[in-house]
Amino acid sequence: MTHKLIPRLTAARVVPVVRTQATSHAATVVQWLREAGIGIVEITMTIPDAPALIRELAADPSLLVGAGTVPDRATAAACLAAGASFIVAPWIDPSLAEPCRDAGALLMLGAVTPNEVRAALTAGADVVKIFPAASVGGPGHIRALRSVFPHVAFCPTGGVEPGNVAAYLAAGAAFVGMGGALVDEDRIAAGDRTAIQAAARQVLAIA
């Protein structure tokens, strides 16, 4: 069964992966991205006090908030309780499936090879995150996986940038995750809202 959030993620085409050293920088860039027209964000667990930030952001029903780099079931449960609508791990962890299923949340697990894609699906993944996408073949790798798994929703992440978003989508990605090319902490720290929002609008126009 296809998860109810997949059409929304597919329509968005790009999910910003927010990974910053400072919680305040994460909150700031989410606001800037929203002003630019992006209504979905993935808040990674490498951000200090990430579940608290998720709770704050998820209070706005117009913003779809997910949790990324989720290391274990307990962290997944905390993020879901805080309001996360999707859980992401760049590896395969079957223990994340039950709390997601109980909460009605989408689960995205990481894989690279066909064996790993099968393992991720068996573990309960609704979407398979291909990470790191750029270093294992880029759009060509996604196209090859789609030939074997035509009904799987793939989300390549890692090395995705404005210049290759269209190629990933054309290769069969349902949507992409974009981190540093969109969420640049140096620009955030410098208060360069214009540059961040220009990148966001460029990505939206391409997608």
Which residues are tagged catalytic? 42, 129
Nearest-Å Rg of the Cα atoms of the chain is 16
